[in-house]
Amino acid sequence: ENREEANNKNVHLHGFAGSLSDSEEGGREENIAINRPGAVEQVNIPVGSRYWYPTIRFTVLFALCIFVDAAVAIILWLTASLNRTVLTLLGIYMVGALTSLLRSYLFTLAGQRLVARLRTKLFTSVVEQEIAFFDVNRTGELCNRLSSDTSVLQNATTVNVSMLFRYVLQIVGSLILMFYLNASLTGVLLAIVPVVTLGASQYGKFVRKMRKLFQDRLADAGTQAEESLSSIRTVKSFTGEERAIKVYDSYIQESFKIGKKLALAQGSMDGLFSFFAYGAIAAVLWYGGKLVYDNSQNPDTGITAGLLTSFLLYTLQVAMGFALLSSLYGDFMQAVGASVRIFTLLDRKPDVFVPANPLTLPALSGELEFKDVRFTYPSRPDSEVLKGVSFRVEKGQMVALVGPSGGGKSTIVSLIERFYDPNEGSIMMDGCDLKFLDLGWFRHKVATVSQEPTLFACSIRDNIAYGREATDEEVEDAARQANAHDFICGFEDGYKTLVGERGVRLSGGQKQRVAIARALIMDPTLLLLDEATSALDAESEHLVQEAIDRAMRGRTVIVIAHRLSTVRNAHKVVVIDKGQIAEMGTHSELLARHGVYKRLVLRQLTAGHPTPSSG
Ligand code: ADP
């Protein structure tokens, strides 16, 4: 605030040209100050002393200003004319400073609060979208919405709105006083308004379009950076750094190209505004000079030189207000673009079927049936992935899905998890259509262990207890069942050991066992497994297999199988090929048929080590 007030003083001291650049600089510095992470943090905290601290500080300042004001008023009564005038001025500046403080503080606070809420709401809205949404929207782009777009909006709603009010008030206030001084002279000044409005609207359209492109290219760059950094090992092992940098740079250069156009547009706009502002002063001087001349000839007509001087001072205020508004305009247009994107995302309803009365069954036995299920991915509407799939899994049975890669096995598992709904046919759970079950309740009954499980960057304990609140004993018990307890205890921090970027890197087999523990702690009725195709070392493989066998006991299990031992033990083997069931039966039944399955077994499932082409 002090900085801004200092700028205001410059305005008075150095006149119009000096004030323009000074105030702009002030605005910029203010932006930086507000974007500091610390500043954001401070207002984001909803309760506690840190939240109240600014309010207390502000109240003290407020009281101090009132006190000084009162003191000034008393002195005014006691002093003579010139001193009184100067003191009056000081008093007015004091009030000005106080209102400036209030304006800036309250607007900034309101803006910060708004953006803090918006960010959480936006993230909530994104997380709640259906899986198909994530098939078409890239992670990097969504993260960009959350960070970059909301930052743009934050600037617009804090500094810019506050400044907008200030300049508009400055213009309107000066104009009222000018009308009061001389209406016809004000009319001359207002002649520039249509020209300026037309220029501003054209400029606005252009800037909106360009800013959108600019943000889009930035989003592309963000996505690219995210992809490269998240797979930095692959990038480095294929010496792809140069290529990654090149692609990133190409997006940045594209955004820079747009940035250059924007800079030119902003410059032209500033120039135009400034020309018309000075032009208006010239017009006032010209017409006002005439009126002063008239007055010198006949005191009953025209205006005095004193009045023209006051009028010119107000003209400066108006011109300055307009010039500064023009520099805010671009930022507002950018904010409009950003908010369109934010609100489109915020208002998007997840495209999932929600029944009027979601069912929860008293006890889920785990009987599953696919009835003539047809399915096409929404992101690839022209290729049907499942073309009428029907099979049944009895309670407690283990069913193995096998078949060539791309046949549709993972899709079947995704449908059971209800990541998608079938286009035709139905999936029945205990005789009830999956669609009509309460989704949250149902997902608690299902657990998945995928080929390459994702662990979160938190402690091993928190990873195991990810699906539900659990006691330390429960976590340990799950880990024991998953053959993970021993290796976890081998770490210095035991269950508190951090996983991921800043923690330990677990081996493939260890990760799998943590993932099995994470599934087991849910005590799922239905277990969905995707066997790892990559060969683990013999020791690990044995431990993982043992953990899986234990996990399967007493549960309905659907497994995308890659091992001969798994298919041998399965109650039923379903061979999926090109979205259809090619064969179905037990391992020995299918072998006896000498069909697709036998060929698969001979080619791929031999010795439990699949070839790279399998699933
Ligand atoms: P499998 O598990 O048997 O290898 P998938 O179920 O993964 O087969 O894939 C079946 C078909 O669906 C493939 O043609 C694959 O390209 C396509 N597919 C898989 N996932 C998606 C997705 N998220 N969006 C669009 N198409 C997909």
Residue 461, amino acid: R
Q: Is residue 192 pLDDT above 60, yes or no?
A: yes
**For all residues of the chain together, what is the average pLDDT?**
81
- Ligand 1 atom 27: residue of nearest CA: 377
Q: What is the pLDDT of residue 245?
A: 94
Instruction: Give phi and psi for 301, each to the nearest 5.
Output: -110, 170
Residue bearing the CA closest to ligand 1, atom 21:
377
Q: Does 613 sit in the ligand 1 pocket, CB within 6 Å?
A: no
User: Residue 13: what pLDDT?
Assistant: 32
Ligand 1: does its nearest atom lie under 6 Å from the Cβ of 408? yes
Question: In the chain, pLDDT over 90 holds for what percent of residues?
Answer: 28
Query: How much is the pLDDT for 268?
Result: 86
Atom of ligand 1 nearest to the CA of 407: 3
Q: DSSP for 247-307, please give it.
A: HHHHHHHHHHHHHHHHHHHHHHHHHHHHHHHHHHHHHHHHHHHHHHHHHHH-TTSS--HHH
CB distance 326 to ligand 1 below 6 Å: no
Which of 410, 419, 531, 596 is the best mutation target for the ligand 1 pocket, counting ligand atoms within 8 Å of the beta carbon and taking the most?
Answer: 410
CB contact at 8 A, 261 and 310: no
411 lines ligand 1 (CB under 6 A): yes
Per-residue pLDDT at 47:
42
Ligand 1 centroid to Cα of residue 55, in Å, is 56
Query: What is the identity of the amino acid at 485?
Result: H
Residue 405 CA, ligand 1 centroid: distance in Å: 9
374 Cα–ligand 1 center, Å: 14
Residue nearest to atom 13 of ligand 1 (CA): 406
Tell me the per-residue pLDDT of 115-164, one tens digit each, with 9 for 90 and over: 889 999 999 999 999 999 999 888 878 888 888 888 888 888 777 887 88
Residue 372, pLDDT above cutoff 90: yes
Determine the pLDDT at residue 138.
82
pLDDT of residue 45: 37
Question: In angstroms, what is the span from residue 561 Cα to ligand 1's centroid?
Answer: 16
Closest-CA residue, ligand 1 atom 23, reads 135
pLDDT of residue 57: 67
Is there an atom of ligand 1 within 6 Å of 562 CB? no
Q: Distance from CA of residue 550 to its chain's centroid? A: 41
Task: Count how many Cα atoms sit within 13 Å of the Cα of residue 528 in the half-sphere of its side chain.
Answer: 19
Maximum mean pLDDT: which of 16-30, 484-498, 529-543 = 484-498
Q: Say what the pLDDT of residue 52 is.
A: 54
Rounded Cα distance, 274 and 527, in Å: 71
3-state secondary structure 562-603: CCHHHHHHCCEEEEEECCEEEEEECHHHHHHHCCHHHHHHHH
Q: How far is the CA of 406 from the centre of ligand 1 (A)?
A: 6
Binding site membership of 378 for ligand 1 (Cβ less than 6 Å): no
> Would you place residue 257 in the very low, low, confident or very high pLDDT band (cuts 50, 70, 90)?
very high
Gap between the Cα atoms of 492 and 148, Å rounded: 40
Say if residues 130 and 351 touch (Cβ distance below 8 Å). yes
- Pairing state between β 424-429 and 368-376: antiparallel
Report the nearest atom of ligand 1 relative to the CA of 131.
23
| Per-residue model confidence as pLDDT tens digits over 216-251 | 888 888 888 888 988 888 889 888 899 999 999 999
Whose CA is closest to atom 5 on ligand 1?
Answer: 408
* pLDDT of 352 over the 60 cut: yes
Ligand 1 center–CA 421 separation, angstroms = 15
Ligand 1: nearest atom to the Cα of 414 = 6
Cα 415 to middle of ligand 1, angstroms: 12
Contact 615 CB / ligand 1 (< 6 Å): yes
Residue 114 tokens read as 């708004």
Alpha-carbon distance of 343 to 23, in angstroms, equals 32
Q: How far apart are CA 610 and CA 615, in angstroms?
A: 9
The DSSP code sequence of 355-383 is -SS-B--SS----EEEEEEEEE-TTSTTS
List all residues 6 or more positions away from 224 whose beta carbon is below 8 Å from its beta carbon: 140, 244, 247, 248, 251
Q: What is the pLDDT of residue 208?
A: 79
C-beta 555 within 6 A of ligand 1: no
In our burial notation (b when 16+ CB lie closer than 10 A, e otherwise), range 275-285 reads ebbeebbebbe
**CA–CA gap between residue 21 and residue 23 (Å, rounded):** 6
Structural contact between residues 544 and 563, judged by C-beta atoms closer than 8 angstroms: no
CB-ligand 1 contact for 405 (6 Å cutoff): yes
User: How far apart (Å, rounded) are the C-alpha atoms in residues 436 and 195?
Assistant: 62
Q: How high is the pLDDT of residue 102?
A: 86
The ipTM, to two decimals, is 0.98
CB 342 within 8 A of CB 318: no
**Calpha distance 386→425 (Å, rounded):** 11
The pTM assigned to this predicted structure is 0.71
**Predicted local confidence at residue 610, as pLDDT:** 45
CB of residue 135 inside a 6 A radius of ligand 1: yes
Query: What confidence category does residue 503 fall into, taking pLDDT thresholds of 50, 70 and 90?
Result: low
Predicted confidence (pLDDT) per residue in 404-451, tens digit: 889 999 999 999 999 999 999 999 999 999 999 999 899 999 998 888
Give the bridge partners for 432, in sequence order: 429
